[in-house]
């Protein structure tokens, strides 16, 4: 078997095993069905391109990281600065059925993000935790803390950069 056919077989196996999970992650991050399909396709294309450098350890985490990077790139490219509203998030999740494995992975990612937020120095840790883990908007945080919206937005941006250094860009969305 040639290296190329081995990589193709690995890609097909990964697609069978993780395509629904990766699509679910992409859909939740970008909030649009068709854009999530594109991000899923880009994820597996990138996976195929880097298979020769992949050590084979924790394939699910590796694919998840690629998917979240693709979604972050998409969101950055679109210039989206605000998180979706709570009702938009609930609507987008209403039709999504998660397997126990997908729910476990999602909880694991949330826990890792929450811990990383709490580990940031003040005031970034609390701002990041409220923004990323409690799904509060920058405006809500500013009003609750009695500080300027621009200050909170700047702190969220700085916290995101710190979290991306700590976690890699795998989880932290804009």
CA 20 – CA 22 distance, rounded (Å): 6
Q: What is the DSSP track for the chain?
A: --HHHHHHHHHHHHHHHHHHHHHHHHHHHH--HHHHHHHHHHHHHHHHHHGGG--SS-HHHHHHHHHHHHHHHHHHHHT--SPPPHHHHHHHHHT----HHHHHHHHHHHHHHHHHHHHSPTTHHHHHIIIIIS---HHHHHHHHT--HHHHHHHHHHHHHHHHHHH-TTS---
Residue linked to tokens 């992975």: 105
Structure tokens at 79: 């210039």
pLDDT one-digit tens code per residue, 67-89:
998 888 888 877 644 445 544 54
Q: Write down the pLDDT at residue 101.
A: 65
CATH class of 98-174: mainly alpha
pLDDT one-digit tens code per residue, 107-116:
777 778 888 8
Q: Write down the pLDDT at residue 52.
A: 83
Residue linked to tokens 């605000």: 82
Which residues in the chain land under pLDDT 70? 1-3, 79-105, 168-174
Q: Write down the pLDDT at residue 105.
A: 67
Q: For domain 1-80, which architecture applies?
A: Orthogonal Bundle (1.10)
> Model-level pTM?
0.46
Q: Write down the pLDDT at residue 81.
A: 45
CA-wise closest residue to 119 among 161, 157, 162: 162
Structure tokens at 31: 């909030």
Domain residue limits, the chain: 1-80, 98-174
CA-wise closest residue to 14 among 62, 52, 53, 73: 62
């Amino acid at each position: 078997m040639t290296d190329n056919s081995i990589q193709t077989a690995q890609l097909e196996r990964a697609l069978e095993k993780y395509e629904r999970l990766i699509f679910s992650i992409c859909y939740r991050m970008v909030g649009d069905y068709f854009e999530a399909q594109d991000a899923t396709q880009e994820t597996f294309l990138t996976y195929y391109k880097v298979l020769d450098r992949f050590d084979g350890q924790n394939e699910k985490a590796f694919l998840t990281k690629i998917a979240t990077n693709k979604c972050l790139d998409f969101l950055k490219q679109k210039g989206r600065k605000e998180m979706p509203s709570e009702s938009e998030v609930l609507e987008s999740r209403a039709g999504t059925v998660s397997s126990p494995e997908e729910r476990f992975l999602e909880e694991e990612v949330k826990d890792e993000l929450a811990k990383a937020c709490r580990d940031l120095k003040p005031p970034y840790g609390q701002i990041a935790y409220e923004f990323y883990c409690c799904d509060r908007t920058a405006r809500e945080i500013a009003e609750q803390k009695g500080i300027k919206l621009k200050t909170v937005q700047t702190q969220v941006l700085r916290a995101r950069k710190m979290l991306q250094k700590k976690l890699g860009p795998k989880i932290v969305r804009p």
